Amino acid sequence: MYRTHTCGQLRIADAGQKVTLAGWVQKARKLGGMTFIDLRDRYGITQLVTEEDPGVGREWVIRITGEVVERQSRNPKMPTGDIEVKIEKLTVLNKAQTPPFTIEEVSDGGEDIRAKYRYLDLRRAPLQRALALRHRLAQEVRTYLDGQGFMEIETPYLIKSTPEGARDFVVPSRMNPGEFYALPQSPQTFKQLLMVAGYDRYFQIVRCFRDEDLRADRQPEFTQIDCEMSFVEQEDVLDTFEGMMRSMFKNALGVDIPDPLPRMSWNDAMDNYGSDKPDVRFEMKIHEISDLVKGCGFSVFDGSEYIGAISVPGCAEYTRKQLDELTEWVKRPQVGAKGLVYIKMNADGTVKSSIDKFYTPEQLKAVADALQAKAGDLILVLCGPKRKTQTQLGVLRIEMGNRLGLRDPKVFAPLWIVDFPLLEWDDETQRFYAMHHPFTSPKPEHEKWFYSDKKEDLERVCANAYDFVLNGTELGGGSIRIHNADMQSRMFEVLGISREEAEYKFGFIINAFKFGAPPHGGLAFGFDRICALFGGQETIRDYIAFPKNNQGRDVMIESPSKIDQVQMDELCLQSTIK
């Protein structure tokens, strides 16, 4: 027998028992003729003690048998800290090379080395906690959705391009030379076909693949909780999935979220927070001040479509240097502002700004009043085209929120964003793109504009689309779908997709809609992001057992990698890379 207990199990009540434990040697240290070993498994650490030198090194795998005894100096920080096990017999099950970094709560290893030895990094408690949380949440999802009558159905990975707007990963087909599968960016079309097939309530915890540039919250393959329902309106979908999130918060974190969840229109989110994924844990809302500052002779403002501002509490003491630095910060390409205007609401009641030359103190006071700024606050102003400037103010707002410590990861502020525009005009390519994806339906009351040929009309169409947002991150999104072949064809037409192209890419779904498609809708949640936010982290990497690095590489298995010529030939592939 390898073990009678795990390394996290024994307590003072077990004193006197003879036990067998197996695990890894976290560390061994000698002290006054005794050797103490910390034995670790995924359940915890138990201290072992022996009078002989057992000669074991870090990460050796051992089994011991011995008696549980009360510790002389108890360690209240460890669940097993009241006891230790006096070794009677020790068996080495496997030796280990000295690991390249310490396998502790906080490791001394850098990111690259830990990625190369991911299986060693995964032994560390923080990663084990992360994956345990992920497991817990997946179980919650399954239990909840099963309870609501959802069926988990798998959909294929080797498919055809799906329209989520990213680049596809493709797989060459040996049996069909010169042809390629695309890996799903999501199971979107398949879940809709399942609705046509009458499956009514579908879900899947499923891998999706998007060939995009990577960030802290993006991986080339990631997991969605993908869902679809038939005979539903937006309200039914929001209600069902609010329930799912509520049970996840409650059962995994013990956190109660508001019932019902707040909702905000896309328009209000953009106007007040400069983002379609607002972090509503803190105020610092954006205010338009165009009417107050235009026409006063300051040409920068006079020539701008929109002038907006935020009032940052308690930052009036920012020095010249800090303000210069902040100005450079907003000019970085990631923010993209041309410059920054400030108004300091000094503690002594005076007002000092970078535009004093153009405005009287009364005019600046009127701006401060509009923002409800108080003495000690710093007003930051940006100008330019409306949505672009609001977005920049949104980024600045988040930055100031971070600097002021207003974004506590232990505080959760979920909400729904609704009433998205259906379409987004792109100046560069001079065409509309679907804001969500081309299967999203227009709001019934906006259908008249949807069939209009005027750009202004099409821009006004709102979609039956919704996003679930938590703490400034979009955790999920979906829509009520188009379920009518004619409307779907119209959508492709609006998107500038020719009949032939639509037929080639999506003929199967337009066709399916001709065979009695029920009204349906759904959504998908980013499961990795949910795990990370529930765990209080921004990066999803720790919540994925084997993630890729920023270059999309798995440095442990050294992938992607070259394939040999035989395989290339079989696939009828030729490389232009020497």
Which residue ranges make up the site for ligand ASP (CB under 6 A)? Answer: 164, 186, 188, 477-479, 522-524
Task: Please state the separation of Cα 276 from the chain's center in Å.
Answer: 14
Shortest separation between residue 524's beta carbon and ligand ASP, angstroms? 4
Task: Please state the separation of Cα 137 from the chain's center in Å.
Answer: 15
Shortest separation between residue 214's beta carbon and ligand ASP, angstroms? 17
Shortest separation between residue 168's beta carbon and ligand ASP, angstroms? 14
Between CA 464 and CA 266 the distance in angstroms is 12
50/192 with CB nearer ligand ASP = 192
Between CA 161 and CA 91 the distance in angstroms is 55
Helix, strand, coil percent values for the chain (each to nearest 5) = 30, 25, 45
Shortest separation between residue 92's beta carbon and ligand ASP, angstroms? 50
Between CA 27 and CA 59 the distance in angstroms is 8
Element (H, E) at 384: strand 378-384
188/471 with CB nearer ligand ASP = 188
Between CA 55 and CA 45 the distance in angstroms is 19
Residue 427: CB atoms within 10 A of its CB come to 6
442/522 with CB nearer ligand ASP = 522
Beta strands in 142-286 (DSSP E): 151-152, 170-172, 180-182, 201-209, 221-230, 263-265
Shortest separation between residue 208's beta carbon and ligand ASP, angstroms? 7
Between CA 290 and CA 309 the distance in angstroms is 10
Shortest separation between residue 477's beta carbon and ligand ASP, angstroms? 5
Shortest separation between residue 552's beta carbon and ligand ASP, angstroms? 19
Q: Tell me which amino acid residue 366 is.
A: A
121/228 with CB nearer ligand ASP = 228
38/228 with CB nearer ligand ASP = 228
186/389 with CB nearer ligand ASP = 186
206/382 with CB nearer ligand ASP = 206
Question: Positive or negative, the Cα torsion across 359, 362, 364, 366?
Answer: negative
373/524 with CB nearer ligand ASP = 524
Helix count and strand count (H, E) for the chain: 17, 22
Shortest separation between residue 522's beta carbon and ligand ASP, angstroms? 5
398/434 with CB nearer ligand ASP = 434
Between CA 37 and CA 30 the distance in angstroms is 9
Which has the closest alpha carbon to 62: 28, 106, 18, 11? 28
Residue 426: CB atoms within 10 A of its CB come to 10
Between CA 128 and CA 543 the distance in angstroms is 9
23/163 with CB nearer ligand ASP = 163
Shortest separation between residue 250's beta carbon and ligand ASP, angstroms? 24
Phi, psi of 464 (to 5 degrees): -80, 60
Shortest separation between residue 424's beta carbon and ligand ASP, angstroms? 15
Between CA 355 and CA 296 the distance in angstroms is 11
Between CA 115 and CA 134 the distance in angstroms is 19
